[in-house]
Structure 1
Amino acid sequence: MNKAFVKESDDEDDDLEPEAVALPQGTRNYMTPEGYQRLRSELEHLMNEERPSVVQVVSWAASNGDRSENGDYLYGKKRLREIDRRIRFLTKRLELAEVVEAWRQPNRDQVFFGATVVYEDKVGEAFTVTIVGVDEAEPLQGRISWISPVARALTKAREGEVVTLRTPAGLDELEILEVHYPQAPDQA
């Protein structure tokens, strides 16, 4: 099939993955040590294991002749583009990374990156969240990005304070019940 009829982009602009959260302009990519290591491991796996394996399959498939109807070749090329895009994305994110060791935080009663916060909304429902990097956020598991509205409202507040959170439904008040930080690795 003629390439003119197939939507393939050679642009480098597709480095940002659809689920990737954009970082605020001019900021570092704050991460926990665990989050940094997880992205680093994924990058190493893609570069050292998965990509070479797919390249081998594509080379084998290409040697079989007609590439236009060769499923292994076509799928392999598509998978290589996906892997290369993810490698570029991870490389850029790791270049911007600033690992924050939350256990070093001197103001342990105040909310900063890496803190685990227990708060109560104005209805009286309690929530526990940990403030992490944008690439580590899992809201359903209580891990929220430092750029999220809740994290921004909580940041710099202290235990016992009430902060205001703007939501689509209006203003909500959050009372900070507890602030915890992880212990030093040698104490864990």
Structure 2
Amino acid sequence: MSDTVPMTQEGYQRLQEELKTLIRVERPKVVQDIAEARSHGDLSENAEYDAAKDRQGFVEGRIQELGDKIARAQVINPAEIDSEKIVFGAKVTLFDIDTENEVTYQIVGEDEADIKVGKISITSPVGKALIGHMVDEEVRIVVPSGVRVYEVTDIEYS
């Protein structure tokens, strides 16, 4: 695992908000749920208690994970990037040679990726394949259905 975790400012803020919610809202609620389940008596067959303990494990694990990612965050502002090549943060417009469709993706950190809004992870096969290419270059990307060939038509940093 690398020392830093690249992310946009938006992604960094989202992680911080989630961490704050887990610490201020979720953690106290789980503690309260455990106390309430304990008050119901026999813990050996208490499904509420087991569920609350499982939830506590998840919440504490996520708090640790987020704290670690935030501590190692390398916040990158795409607007400050001046590159003719595709790097982290780029908004890339591609022309699919086979389907003749155009698609636009922004290359973001793992926690920010959401294909529905056109954000792909820098660690995804498509994200990895795009890095370092320039406008008018062809990019061959191995996907589960075979090989896709794209032409890079635009690179934007905003």
1:48 to 7, 11, 24: 24
Deviation at 1:176? 0.8
Q: Could you tell me how far apart the structure 1 residues matched to 2:47 and 2:145 are?
A: 50
**Equivalent residue, structure 1, for 2:90:** 115
Whichever residue aligns with residue 173 of structure 1, its letter is V
Deviation at 1:61? 2.6
Which ranges in structure 2 are unaligned for 5 or more consecutive residues? none
Q: Does 1:126 align with 2:102?
A: yes
- RMSD (Å), alpha carbons: 1.9
Q: Could you tell me how far apart the structure 2 residues matched to 1:75 and 1:172 are?
A: 45
1:156 to 125, 128, 132: 132
Q: What TM-score, normalized to structure 2?
A: 0.88
Superposed CA deviations along residues 116-174 of structure 1, whole A, max 9, x for unmatched, are: 11111221221111100011111232110012222222222222222232345554332
1:87-102 residue pairs with structure 2 within 5 A? 87-102=63-78
Whichever residue aligns with residue 110 of structure 1, its letter is K
Percentage identity across paired residues of the two chains: 37
Q: Could you tell me how far apart the structure 1 residues matched to 2:148 and 2:129 are?
A: 10
Whichever residue aligns with residue 118 of structure 1, its letter is T
**Equivalent residue, structure 1, for 2:42:** 66
Structure 1 or 2: more strand by fraction: 2
SS in 2 for 1:163: strand
SS in 1 for 2:112: coil
1:146 to 118, 122, 128: 122
Q: Alpha carbons of 1:81 and 1:160: their partners in 2 closer, same or farther (altered >3 Å)?
A: same
Q: Alpha carbons of 1:116 and 1:56: their partners in 2 closer, same or farther (altered >3 Å)?
A: same
Whichever residue aligns with residue 87 of structure 2, its letter is F
Which ranges in structure 1 are unaligned for 5 or more consecutive residues? 1-24, 183-188
SS in 1 for 2:111: coil
SS in 1 for 2:30: helix
Deviation at 1:115? 1.0
Q: Alpha carbons of 1:69 and 1:130: their partners in 2 closer, same or farther (altered >3 Å)?
A: same
